[in-house]
Amino acid sequence: MTKAKKEFSITFWGTRGTLPAPGELYLRTGGNTNCTELNCGGHTIIFDAGTGIRELGSKICNGVGKGNIDLFLSHAHYDHMEGIPFFAPFFCDKFNVQVWCGTLEGSSSTRETVEELMRPPYFPVGPSVFTADVEYLHVPRWAAFDLTPEIRITTAPLNHPGGATAYRVDFDGRSFAYVTDTESIPGEVNQDIIKLIQDVDLFIYDSSLTDEEFPDFVGYGHSTFEEGMRLCKLANAGAYLAYHHMPFRVDSELDLIEAEIKKTQPKSGVAREGDVIQL
């Protein structure tokens, strides 16, 4: 008898980058900024804390029982951090929350990164108001470690102003990688990313731009949906989803991008807020 696989699901609570994008032109893709939830056999992993994390936090707090949550930050730009003060489990003493972040320019630790976000004149109270058991942890460059006996975390540095980290999760014979924000270099293959996503079942990738738009955004630290397709093929990945949609990218444009991706990679596409994927 084949042993049943444990649940390994990905839920997108925010797929937008840079700024939230409210309004009817963004309804199908969603307007909340970066937040992705993984359920690994009941263990909750969250990647980034954009505005999408507010609703996720409400869902978690409405659940039953005490829980451990691991929140991994790719970096500290506002669109990946702005939801932290509004994440309900921080204000509930039945939760243990581990906040992880790599080395960033201008910050000496993960704790300092959160404290600097929540201080005057930018915010009225600091993280001292959290009532959960919160632990701040550093992710060393190129870290690879077992989060639990069943969950393996592997990382890679990304080419982004101030620094950023990509993450891969291997669990119960399946794998997912979270790769945003990173600037590609035309004509060059990022071997660090290739190594991280090699043979992965699914990865998300910074697809803020198109190859045509890219020259106007050099230095901003972002990549293109076409580069995501190239990486997917080179790394023999099962599928890729375009992520970190710019606030000017309306639903109809993302439909066209998805159609272009599916011409040659039918299992790949565009990440949309509310989507739930079972691996």
In angstroms, the CA 245 to CA 235 distance is: 23
> Domains (ranges, CATH) in the chain?
8-278 (3.60.15.10)
Enumerate residues 6+ apart whose C-beta is below 8 A from 272. Answer: 12, 15, 28, 29, 30, 254
63: confidence class by pLDDT, cuts 50, 70, 90: confident
Token code pair at residue 126: 């600091």
In angstroms, the CA 10 to CA 30 distance is: 16
Looking at every residue in the chain, the average pLDDT score rounds to: 96
- Supply the pTM of this predicted model: 0.96
Contact between 46 and 11 under an 8 Å Cβ cutoff? The reply is no
Contact between 265 and 228 under an 8 Å Cβ cutoff? The reply is no
178-219 residue pLDDT tens = 999 999 999 999 999 999 999 999 999 999 999 999 999 999
In angstroms, the CA 134 to CA 142 distance is: 24
Please, what's the b/e burial string for 48-78 (b: 16 or more CB within 10 A of its CB; e: otherwise)?
bbbbbbbbbbeebeeeeeebebbbbbbbbbe
What is the mean pLDDT of the segment spanning 268-274? Answer: 98
105-164 residue pLDDT tens = 999 999 999 999 999 999 999 999 999 999 999 999 999 999 999 999 999 999 999 999
Which H/E stretch holds residue 261?
Answer: helix 251-264
What pLDDT does residue 65 have? Answer: 59
Token code pair at residue 118: 């929540």
